[in-house]
Structure 1
Amino acid sequence: MGDLRSSCEHLYSRLNNLQGELEFMKNKGQILSTESLDQYQTVVVKFLHFLERNGGRNLVYHVAKYTAVAGELKALHEDVSELFFDLLDVTAVDQWGEDCRVLETVLASAISDNSVALRDLQNPRAQLEAILTLKFELEKQHERHNQADMARMRSLMETIKTASRVSVEQLPAWFLPDYEVEFESQPFAKGSCGSVHRGVWSSDTPVVVKCFAVDDMRIDNRTARQLEKELDRLSRWITQILSTYLVLLMSTRHLF
């Protein structure tokens, strides 16, 4: 999460300074309202959740999720500024504009550097998944990106393609980036080849996630190819079922 380090360090410093001021006020005998302390705790928890979600992610993730991640960081900075004003009657200096410029500069530099762009993509499968992820965002989620986002994603995709010689003709209908689904670490069922977990897709749709246990890379590649075939078959089957359902639904409505 090196590209976010500067902004996160500023945010941490501001929260730390605020905590110091609150402790100073408490030691002087000033009474702090429960509501004020709850507000501070809420912002700290939100920041910790942000770090948990975005820490340890690769460059592809940060480029694909730039607008969403930057939006969260900006909101956190605004929350902290509001706390400074409400608790200390201090108008905080806006640091976000500079943080945003630094973040964009770091991303642009990383995208154009093959060694950085491929640092976390050391095998063909990782490179292929990176390209699929970028294609997914460009083709299926383009409405949530601005022109600068899309330019960064296209540039990174070309960097990966050129350096790795991996190419993708078409985005598979079944492909979904891993960050689109969150699931519980504790499975509710297990089998000989994997486990089944409860999860959430796109923040609000309950789903069931099957995780396959694979130890050997040769088996992994063979299993992956088989899974791709099965997923393609499943995707066609679901499309057929949905089409039939819609026709039946429309026919039923006509009966009324």
Structure 2
Amino acid sequence: MSFSLDPAAAERWLRRFHTTPRGPSARLVCLPHAGGSAGFFFPFSQALAGDLDVLAVQYPGRLERHHEEPLTDIGRLADHVVAALTSPAFGTDGLPLVLFGHSLGALVAYEAASALQERGTPVRALFVSGRRAPSCPDDVKPLHALDDAAVVAELRDMDGTEDELLSDPEVLRLILPAVRADYRAVETYRHRTRPRLTSPVVTLTGDNDPRVRLDQAAAWADHTTGPHELRVFPGGHFYLSSPPQRSAVVALLRDRLVTGRADAVSP
């Protein structure tokens, strides 16, 4: 589906935490995980804003968008991201686009990259983190229809949300609808056959991620005709929340995007 967003609507979808004092080499668009918000990528923006125009996606149904109904379909999320990125607010300066998605965000980024390629504007590179390839069946138990206690237990197991937040009934009342909607989007996603991407794809994963086996991460290579690189980091599903691993990911992004090595990924 193709549609447009006016600048005000586009700015609800995309957050810019820092400005770039000199001409950026690319626009890095970061897409968060299920239940996540744009602020998850604030440290990435802080570290990279001197060289890249860093944007973070804010899905509806959370924080200042809490009054909006969350979307429950990966394709619809991707359509809105593409519309925001190609709106007059963000899509008129010709900066090359790079997408970085973690977990649910990796699927949204992949679908958005595919849609942009179909429009004749392929992304410069796609970074996918903490997610099996789209062609790999999701063999984890469905969570979006379970009760709140089961959803909270899953959030604790994934270690991506502060425990004190998960113990606060008022916070849970605010965040659980968006979390449940995101889980539904992931768990009902079905990959459809389409032309492979032509852009380089870099896959990042934790070596102890209970959701992603290494062969499932490596299978992202089947979704591009360009170079593919698999990078494995110490840690679980939220390996990139650890300051040392976050620094390593930032260094990788800077190496690929600032020094012009987006095409120089290992086979």
- Say yes or no: TM over 0.5: no
| TM-score under structure 2 length normalisation | 0.27
Higher relative contact order (CA 8 A, sep 6+): 2
Q: Which of the pair has more CA radius of gyration? A: 1
Normalized per residue, the structure richer in helix is 1
| TM-score under structure 1 length normalisation | 0.28
